[in-house]
């Protein structure tokens, strides 16, 4: 009788051990298994593991992805870049910055975009260096996009310099991204918030986001004052791509200098409905800022 009782109790104990495994324990076991795949799997297995780690979205998962940043295959390294962004910002920047020097331009591009996701100013200098020396158009554009996501005003002058050149089909994405990033940096300087949608919507003014900030306006900073005439020229230039002109209008509003109102008003009746709406929102940012 006692032996039967003991066996029953062991069964209950085993059931309880299984039943009370916490989600965190399950997740830790999954992360460990994925880390092993990154060490021993083939290219597709490693990439699948990295996608899963990215979807987990924890520091532990990102740490498990770190070895893949040094994988011999560029597709694995590129995939790993987006999987380590959940580390602490300084740790993520430290891990990703060396990939800006990778021999493969796709890896450099993905590293720059990942640094933009991290949004930490300690990455600004590395991205500016990448912008200066990288000859690959997509990698250079990715650095520009990342600088806008970070919002560090140190990047405003180099981004303005991009727009000083005459427009061409080859650098359309670079110019569009530079104008966009200038607007994002200016908006962050004014509000401490990141801006993502241009235009916000096509609704009446009362449904638009209002700027309420006691911070020093970006228009008072010399670096943005230098950008104003360049952005106005881009907005007025019919040779520019439509998207570049739209982003220039957004940037003028984000900077918030009242002197930009005239050039924005000029395009309120543009045949491009997106440009007209963005100019309306830009004027609102100037008025409410």
Q: What is the pLDDT of residues 136-171, one digit of tens each?
A: 999 999 999 999 999 999 999 999 999 999 999 999
Query: From CA 53, how far away is CA 168, in angstroms rounded?
Result: 40
For position 192, what pLDDT does the model report? Answer: 87
Query: Residues 210-231: pLDDT tens digits?
Result: 666 544 555 556 779 999 999 9
Question: What's the whole-number mean pLDDT along residues 7-14?
Answer: 43
CB-side neighbour CA atoms (13 Å) of 283: 14
Q: Is the CB of residue 171 less than 8 Å from the CB of residue 165? A: yes
For position 33, what pLDDT does the model report? Answer: 95
For position 134, what pLDDT does the model report? Answer: 98
What residue spans define the domains of the chain? 151-289
For position 15, what pLDDT does the model report? Answer: 41
Question: What's the whole-number mean pLDDT along residues 111-127?
Answer: 98
CATH of domain 151-289: 1.25.10.10
H-state helical runs in 156-219: 156-164, 172-191
Task: Report residue 255 CA to chain centroid gap.
Answer: 20
Query: From CA 198, how far away is CA 254, in angstroms rounded?
Result: 11
Nearest Cα to 46, choosing from 57, 34, 61? 34
For position 61, what pLDDT does the model report? Answer: 97
Query: From CA 279, how far away is CA 230, in angstroms rounded?
Result: 16
For position 217, what pLDDT does the model report? Answer: 56
For position 12, what pLDDT does the model report? Answer: 39
Query: From CA 237, how far away is CA 215, in angstroms rounded?
Result: 32
CB-side neighbour CA atoms (13 Å) of 213: 21
Q: Is the CB of residue 104 less than 8 Å from the CB of residue 122? A: no
For position 5, what pLDDT does the model report? Answer: 39
Mean pLDDT computed over every residue of the chain? 88
Q: What are phi and psi of 206, to 5 degrees?
A: -65, -15
DSSP 117: H
CA distance readout (Å), 91 to 4, 31, 57, 157: 56, 19, 15, 27
- List CB contacts of 8: < 8 A, sequence separation 6 or more: none
- List CB contacts of 12: < 8 A, sequence separation 6 or more: none
Query: Residues 228-250: pLDDT tens digits?
Result: 999 999 999 999 999 999 999 99
Q: What is the pTM of this model?
A: 0.86
Higher per-residue pLDDT: 113 or 207: 113
């Amino acid at each position: 009788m006692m032996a039967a009782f003991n066996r029953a109790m062991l069964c209950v104990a085993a059931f309880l051990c299984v039943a009370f495994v916490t989600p965190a324990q399950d997740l830790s076991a999954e992360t460990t298994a994925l880390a092993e795949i990154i060490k021993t799997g083939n290219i597709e297995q490693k990439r699948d593991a990295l996608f899963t780690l990215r979807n987990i979205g924890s520091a532990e998962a990102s740490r498990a992805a770190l070895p893949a940043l040094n994988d011999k295959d560029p597709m694995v390294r590129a995939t790993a870049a987006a999987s380590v962004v959940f580390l602490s910002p300084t740790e993520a920047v430290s891990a990703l910055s060396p990939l800006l020097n990778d021999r493969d331009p796709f890896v450099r591009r993905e590293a720059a975009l990942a640094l933009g996701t991290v949004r930490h100013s300690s990455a600004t200098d590395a991205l500016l260096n990448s912008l200066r020396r990288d000859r690959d158009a997509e990698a250079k554009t990715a650095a520009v996009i990342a600088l806008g996501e970070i919002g560090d005003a140190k990047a405003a002058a180099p981004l303005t310099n991009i727009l000083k050149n005459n427009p061409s089909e080859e650098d359309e994405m670079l110019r569009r991204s530079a104008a966009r990033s200038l607007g994002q940096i200016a908006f962050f300087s004014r509000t401490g918030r990141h801006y993502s949608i241009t235009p916000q919507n096509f609704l009446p003014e009362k449904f638009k986001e209002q700027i309420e900030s006691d911070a020093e306006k970006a228009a008072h900073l010399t670096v943005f004052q230098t950008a104003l005439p360049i952005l106005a020229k881009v907005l007025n230039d019919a040779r520019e791509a439509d998207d570049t002109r739209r982003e220039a209008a957004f940037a003028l509003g984000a900077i918030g200098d009242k002197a930009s109102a005239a050039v924005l008003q000029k395009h309120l009746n543009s045949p491009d409905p997106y440009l007209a709406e963005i100019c309306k929102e830009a004027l609102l940012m100037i008025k409410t800022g």
